[in-house]
Chain A
Amino acid sequence: MTGRETPVRVFLVDDHALFRAGVRAELDSITDEIDVVGEAGSVGEAVVGINHVRPDVVLLDVHMPDGGGAEVLRQVRTSLPEVVFLALSVSDAAEDVIAVIRAGARGYVTKTISSQELVRAVVRVAEGDAVFSPRLAGFVLDAFADRPGAAPISDPELDLLTPRERDVLRLLARGYAYKEIASELFISVKTVETHVSSVLRKTQLSNRYELSRWASDRRLV
């Protein structure tokens, strides 16, 4: 698989203890690539725990009392910019997905993801890449769609996707893996990763109406 010498240190944040236990057991049993170094059941616990443990990756639940995953991101990101966050949630609602991405998460996967896929996603964000589930790819395509009557583009660099980025997102939404996307588009996996990271950056920084609406519904901007 990957050439990591040390396992990725992962911190779990979820208000359901049962779910945390399940993820921990699964991750411990199927791979040596990941080492679960801590867990927390609330926003406050998570902030203290992450600051103390300094994990590589935080697996973050979107829905929690006291502001949810976005609140954890807000409180930790500025002081610990090297910690990356992967959101993990049962919710498929667009505003949740977009809001947590805009708060700074490097990816979003749903809780029904298989264990192997979760491991791959964790390793990938730990290496600095973005992780888009098919659904997130769909939301982003939708938010960046050219539709009649849309607000004028204020910053083309951030508010528009390139045709290539669009192709990559479409294939992601169709359930293709990076390798398959690369061979489909005759580009390297590295280039696919670059495109996905660029889309992530635009999703986080663009002021497109759809994105900021989703974010403001969750009071992020």
Chain B
Amino acid sequence: MTAQVVETVDRQPTAARQSRYPEPVRRRRGGRVVAGVAGGVADHLGVDVFWVRAVFAALTALNGVGVVAYGLLWLFVPQREVDAPERPSGSKERQQALGLVALGIGAAVISGLMSGPVSGWIVGPLAVALVGAAVVWREADEAQRRRWRDGARSGLLGSGRSAVVRVLAGVALVAIGIGVLLVNSYGIDQLRFALLAVVATLGGVAVLTVPLWIKLINDLGEERRVRIRTEERAEIAAHLHDSVLQTLALIQKQSENPREVKRLARGQERQLREWLYGRNVEDNTQPTTLSAAIAKASGEVEDHFALTVQQVVVGDCELDPNLLALIQAAREAMVNAAKHAGVGEISVYGEVEPERVTVFVRDRGKGFDPDTVPEDRHGLADSIRGRMDRHGGEVRLRTTPGEGTEVQLCMPRSGN
């Protein structure tokens, strides 16, 4: 037995999900020395930025691991958005940082020299090329910030002559680095030299165009998000138009007829609830659970007779032929109440227990004397009592003229 009240919906409250995860790493914009990577990591880990920088500098001494790590973080960690608050850094911190950068470079050069003059010749040009790449990437960060600020969508390069100069200088540095590397390796046979030249040039171009690729990927993702949002909006708008707006228009037309207005409003309310809370009880599909079936029957009676059916169901189970008969009998009891009791509200209560299902249909209307019901009225006798008897159920009727009627329907559960 699934233990669910009709309206129990498994929906995640959105508010509860927020801030459960720590904030992702974001590169700092203010107080950065190279790209704000160290600052971002420090913010994320909650340590002083000095120590992060020191670790990067120390790692640089190990065959340049620090530089590679820094470069990768630069690539994959986005900048903080423009509207995020920034903490300005003091000049002392900045000096410290510059000192650490110098220290790191020095350590890298010394470790490069110590590992032999040959690799020293390779590390030197590589370092020049890396500095060039850093200049170009930094310019791309700058351009992105300007895009955020201006809200413009295009433009990989920043505007102004200085930006162009900086990018050109960066490209030149990379070219020089690669060139020197190639000149140094002159002397090997021609085929291998040509191969090396091609690979080196491709590598240089790849490094230089990294910001372009990142921008392309981001734009693509952003575009997809916007499209999904637009589609969702369109779907909601279409639904509201088909249902709510139509009903409101009908209500305005029918404003002279309170009964009709009530019927329309109640039907629309029910439909909107189903849609919002995702129970998906479509008009044309047959419900498969008891609670859904009771909800559907109540809805039909509400629509047809313009009154309110207050329904509460405790527990739930799958429908079988016996329970279907129970629902039909309950529906007939609601119809009787709606037709004869002369009330605006009917209460329906269903309870699923392990061995039986009970449904109560109650109104506070006129009530009647069961002995005086004319012979030709078959509703109670056939549709309710006959149906329940055939499926092994039980009907009890309580009614007093002037105090309302309650029909109690009880059906034993087969199987399980």
Given contacts A218-B16, A219-B15, contact A139 B310 (CB under 8 A): no
- Let me know if A137 is at the binding interface, CB within 8 A: yes
B351 CB contacts on chain A under 8 angstroms: 141, 170
Of residues A92, A135, A138, which shows the largest number of chain B Cβ atoms within 10 Å of its Cβ? A138
**Is residue B58 contacting chain A, with contact meaning CB distance below 8 A?**
no
Given that A135-B312, A145-B314 are known contacts, is A175 also in contact with B4, CB under 8 Å in the complex? Answer: no
CB distance B8 to A93 under 8 Å?
yes
Q: Which of B2-52 contact A (CB under 8 A)?
A: 3-5, 7-9, 11-13, 15-16
Write out the residue numbers on chain B whose beta carbons fall within 8 Å of the beta carbon of A173: 312, 314, 349
* Complex interface: chain A residues within 8 A of B275 (CB): none
Cβ contact within 8 Å between A145 and B3:
yes
A138 CA / B348 CA spacing, docked (Å): 11
* Chain B residue contacts of A93, Cβ below 8 A: 7-9, 11, 277
Residues of A within 8 A of B1 (CB): 147-148
Q: Which residues of A contact B406 (CB under 8 A)?
A: 174
Instruction: Collect the chain B residues with CB atoms within 8 Å of residue A147's CB.
Output: 1, 3
Contacts of B383 in A (CB 8 A): none
Number of A residues with CB within 8 Å of any CB on chain B: 24
Which residues does chain B contribute within 8 Å of A95, judged by CB atoms?
8, 13
Per-residue CB contact flags for chain A residues 17-38 toward chain B (1 = under 8 Å, else 0) read: 0000000000000000000000
With an 8 Å Cβ cutoff, the count of chain B residues facing the other chain is 26
Given known A138-B313, A173-B349, A174-B349, contact A217–B16 (CB-CB < 8 A)? yes
Residues A199-218 near B (CB distance < 8 A):
210, 217-218
Judge whether B312 and A134 touch: CB under 8 Å: yes
Q: How far is the CB of B16 from chain A (nearest CB, A)?
A: 5
> What is the CB-to-nearest-CB distance from B80 to chain A, in angstroms, rounded to a whole number?
26
Any A CB within 8 A of the CB of B331: no
Question: Is B315's beta carbon under 8 Å from chain A?
Answer: yes
Chain A positions within 8 Å of B56 at CB level: none
Asked if residues A219 and B347 are in contact (CB atoms below 8 Å), the reply is no
| B409 shortest CB reach to chain A, Å | 12
Closest to B344 in A: A114
B177 CB to nearest chain A CB (Å): 56
B3, B11, B16, B362: most-surrounded residue (chain A CB, <10 A): B3
Q: Is B79 an interface residue (CB 8 A)?
A: no
| Pair A134/B349 contact, Cβ less than 8 Å | yes
Q: Is B137 an interface residue (CB 8 A)?
A: no
The minimal Cβ–Cβ distance linking A151 to chain B, given in whole angstroms, is 12
Q: Which of B5, B11, B315, B347 contacts A174 (CB 8 A)?
A: B347
8 Å CB interface, B285-321 against A: 308, 310, 312-315
- Cα distance A95–B10 in the bound complex, in angstroms: 9
- Inter-chain CA distance A147–B277, complex, in Å, is 25
* CB within 8 Å for A217 and B13 given contacts A174-B347, A175-B362: yes
Q: For B4, B11, B13, B314, which residue has the most chain A Cβ atoms within 10 angstroms? A: B314
> Given A139-B5, A174-B362, is A134 in contact with B314 using a C-beta cutoff of 8 Å?
no
Q: Are B5 and A112 within 8 A (Cβ)?
A: no
A60 CB → nearest B CB, Å: 18
| Interface membership of B70, Cβ < 8 A | no
Would you call B360 an interface residue if the criterion is a C-beta within 8 Å of the partner chain's C-beta atoms?
Answer: yes
Instruction: Please give, as numbers and ranges, the residues of chain B lying within 8 Å of A145 by CB-CB distance.
Output: 3, 314-315
Interface string of A144-170 (1 = CB under 8 A from B): 010110000000000000000000001
Give the residues in chain A near B313, CB-CB below 8 Å: 138
Q: Does A189 contact B (CB under 8 A)?
A: no
Is A45 positioned at the interface, with any CB of B under 8 Å from its CB?
no
A217: nearest residue on chain B (CB-CB)? B13
List residues of chain B with CB under 8 Å of any chain A CB: 1, 3-5, 7-9, 11-13, 15-16, 273, 277, 308, 310, 312-315, 347, 349, 351, 360, 362, 406
The 5 lowest CB-CB distance pairs between A and B, nearest first, are: A175-B347, A138-B312, A174-B349, A94-B8, A92-B7
* 15 A-B pairs with C-beta separation under 8 A: A92-B273, A134-B310, A135-B7, A138-B349, A139-B8, A141-B314, A142-B5, A142-B314, A145-B314, A147-B1, A173-B312, A173-B314, A174-B360, A174-B362, A219-B13
Q: Which residues of A contact B (CB under 8 A)?
A: 67, 92-95, 112, 134-135, 137-139, 141-142, 145, 147-148, 170, 173-175, 210, 217-219
